[in-house]
């Protein structure tokens, strides 16, 4: 179900791994999208 929600969200916002598109968290935090894992911006 989370994958379907993510896909629907990204159809509207664009890829959450891109800058300035948003952040999506799954609670309890099992996955996070839109946060740079390296601590660097692209």
Give the model confidence (pLDDT) of 1-42 as tens digits.
999 999 999 999 999 999 888 888 888 888 888 877 665 555
Q: Give me the pLDDT at residue 25, please.
A: 83
Please report which residue ranges of the chain form alpha helices under DSSP H.
Answer: 2-13
Domain residues of the chain, as ranges?
2-33
Q: Give me the pLDDT at residue 32, please.
A: 82
Asked if residues 34 and 28 have their Cβ atoms less than 8 Å apart, the reply is no
Q: Give me the pLDDT at residue 14, please.
A: 93
Q: Give me the pLDDT at residue 8, please.
A: 97
Q: Give me the pLDDT at residue 16, please.
A: 93
- Supply 36's token pair: 């740079």
């Amino acid at each position: 179900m989370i994958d379907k929600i993510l896909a629907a969200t990204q159809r509207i916002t664009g890829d959450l791994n891109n800058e300035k598109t948003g952040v999506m968290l799954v609670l309890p935090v099992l996955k996070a999208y839109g946060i740079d894992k390296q601590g660097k911006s692209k």
